[in-house]
A and B are shown apart, each in its own frame.
Chain A
Amino acid sequence: MFKKTIDWLDERFNIQPLFEFMSHKEVPVHKHSLWYYMGGVAMILFVVQAMTGMLLLLYYQPGVDSAYESIRFITTKVSFGWLFRSVHSWSANLMVFFVFVHMFSAFFTRTYAKPRELTWVTGAVLFLLAMVFGFSGYLLPWNELAFFATKVGTDIAGAVPIIGEPIKVLLRGGDSVTGATLSRFYAFHIALLPAIFTVMLFLHLLFVQRQGMHEPEFFKELPTEKKRMMPFFPNFILRDVLLWGVILNILLYLAVFFPWELGVKADAFAPAPEGIRPEWYFMFMFQSLKLLPAHFLIMEGEVFGILFFGIGGLVWFSVPFWDVYIKESIRPKVLKWFGIIVIIFILIMTAWGYLV
């Protein structure tokens, strides 16, 4: 039966080469193999996001008067609504976390180098989209913390020289955070971002499949007979599935034992509550901006901070294009330390943000 279906399809679409490709694809086995799985985890979490997101859409009603109420409705009245809502929130955070891990592992193993520059670039776009996903989704329940975090977040965007103000107005759909902002974020979150993200993800995966798994330097230098390989299908896929199972279990655990709270409904005219903080993945930037003095060098502290992160991000994401200019003998060392400094900076700033 199964074979018949395959034959039927093959006759029409010539899918045999696909199977050929799959059966020949191999994944290197070495001490850093673990990192090969991180992208897959991030991907399955995106799938979870897409599915739970679509379910939540059935009941969610954007709007100042209905957003908060409809989420309360989902978590209290709809069967298993609490589960999907909680999973959606947790999965979003885990996804961003694994995207971070995936990105840094790619950086340190230097998989981005020729010929995989574009894989890195699409990955960078996916990373940024994931952050924007998080930022826009955070506002949708229209609770107090989200409201003020969005206010602060868009204010920061507004501090960018020249283009900042129009960007802020564009994001907010007006001068301040209102129902118009909610509508916009909703549109970004459920239509614009998913569309771009899916295309980018497709390209990213296509590149990976086309070029095969990256082999680290030390592995490349091994003689062929000493290179341990594992078939992509079914061995690697099954391991992937095993790990996904574990991750999904953890996700469920978090969703059930630490249900995402609903919070207090946002009131635009209430004084800002204590301890407004962005989602954890924005914390290092938020904290750095907070630490900067009002004036720094020749410009405002905030502007300096934004320029710093803007240029920093650009440098980080364009690494495949400039690392070739570093002398080959010291290249691995320089890049390693560059990466370590970035990680330490992020960790310290994040910890600082939470401890103070």
Chain B
Amino acid sequence: MGLNRRTFLNTILGGGFLGWLGSFFYPVLTFLVPPKIPEANVQSVNAGAIADIPPNSSKILKFGRIPVLLIRTKTGKFSAVAATCTHLDCTVQYRKDRQDIWCACHNGTYNLAGRNISGPPPKPLNQYVINIVDKEVLISKPKQVG
């Protein structure tokens, strides 16, 4: 009986110890695996291959927590601006017909460099830097002004 009790205790302790090791190493090891977005302060985002973005089109990308509007003009040039209107934070869009940036909420317009050209927006949109590396479009943080 005493022996059985001892074996029983030892089994529980041994198993418990192993379980404990597991419950220690599992979180630690998964913690070490970098998440999909590898850092908190996103410095640049890959917008995909040039070929996948036809001229005179646009798309919204998530630059960390900030939506960014990537535009490819009719002539094939790229431009990226913060997609949040400086008036009341609506999301702006690229107008294929007029080839400018337009905010639907109050009809504000910006040119493709993000300058506010009509309507209520009080400030230009932040312009992001575009780099083409290996036929892929990389968008990186706007240079701080001042």
A interface residue numbers (CB < 8 A to B): 55, 58-59, 61, 65-66, 69-70, 72-74, 77-81, 83-84
Interface residues of B (CB under 8 A from A): 27-28, 30-33, 35-37, 39-41
| Residues of chain A with a CB closer than 8 A to B32's CB | 55, 58
Contact B41 A66 (CB under 8 A): yes
Q: What is the distance, in angstroms, from B43's C-beta to the closest C-beta of chain A?
A: 11
Q: Which residues of B contact A79 (CB under 8 A)?
A: 27, 30-31, 33, 35
Q: How far is the CA of A101 from the CA of B53 in the complex (A)?
A: 65
**What residues of chain A lie closer than 8 Å to B35, measured between beta carbons?**
77-79
Complex-state Cα separation, A74 to B27, whole angstroms: 13
25 contacts between A and B (CB under 8 A): A55-B28, A55-B32, A58-B31, A58-B32, A59-B39, A61-B40, A61-B41, A65-B41, A66-B40, A66-B41, A69-B40, A69-B41, A70-B41, A72-B40, A73-B37, A73-B39, A73-B40, A74-B40, A77-B35, A77-B40, A78-B31, A78-B35, A79-B27, A80-B28, A83-B27
| Cβ–Cβ contact A59 & B27, under 8 A | no
Cβ–Cβ < 8 Å partners of A72 in chain B: 40
Residues of A within 8 A of B41 (CB): 61, 65-66, 69-70
Given the complex, which residues of A lie within 8 Å of B39, measured CB to CB? 59, 61, 70, 73
Q: Is the CB of A55 within 8 A of B31?
A: yes
Rounded to whole angstroms, the CA-CA distance of A73 and B30 in the bound complex is: 15
Instruction: Please determine whether A59 and B33 come into contact, CB atoms closer than 8 angstroms.
Output: no
> What residues on B are CB-neighbors of A58 within 8 Å?
31-32
Interface of B is mostly: loop
Q: Do B40 and A81 touch (CB < 8 A)? A: no
Q: Which 5 A-B pairs have the closest CB atoms?
A: A73-B40, A80-B27, A79-B30, A70-B40, A69-B40
Output the nearest chain A residue to B34 by Cβ-Cβ distance: A78
Which residues in B have their C-beta under 8 angstroms from that of A78? 31, 35
Q: Which residue of A lies closest to B24 (CB)?
A: A51
Cα A118 to Cα B14 with chains together (Å): 40
Q: Smallest CB–CB gap between A63 and chain B, Å?
A: 8
Look across to chain B and name the residue whose beta carbon is closest to the beta carbon of A80: B27
CA of A81 to CA of B36, assembled, Å? 14
> In whole angstroms, what is the CA distance A66 to B65 when docked?
13
Task: Give the distance to chain A from B14, nearest Cβ to Cβ, in Å.
Answer: 14
Whole-angstrom distance between the Cβ of B72 and the nearest chain A Cβ: 30
If A61-B39, A66-B41, A80-B28 are given as contacts, then 6 extra A-B residue pairs at C-beta distance below 8 Å, sorted by A number, are: A59-B39, A61-B40, A65-B41, A69-B40, A73-B40, A79-B35
**Counting chain B CB atoms within 10 Å of each CB, which of A70, A77, A83 scores highest?**
A77
Quote the shortest CB–CB distance from A265 to chain B (angstroms). Answer: 12
> Does the CB pair A80–B30 fall under 8 Å?
yes
CA distance A58 to B39 in the complex (A): 10
Report the Cα distance A61→B32, complex, angstroms. 16
A65 nearest CB neighbor, chain B only: B41
Q: Chain A residues near B28 (CB, 8 Å)?
A: 55, 80
Q: Which residues of the other chain, B, contact A59 by a CB distance below 8 angstroms?
A: 39-40
A212 to B2, CA, bound (A): 35
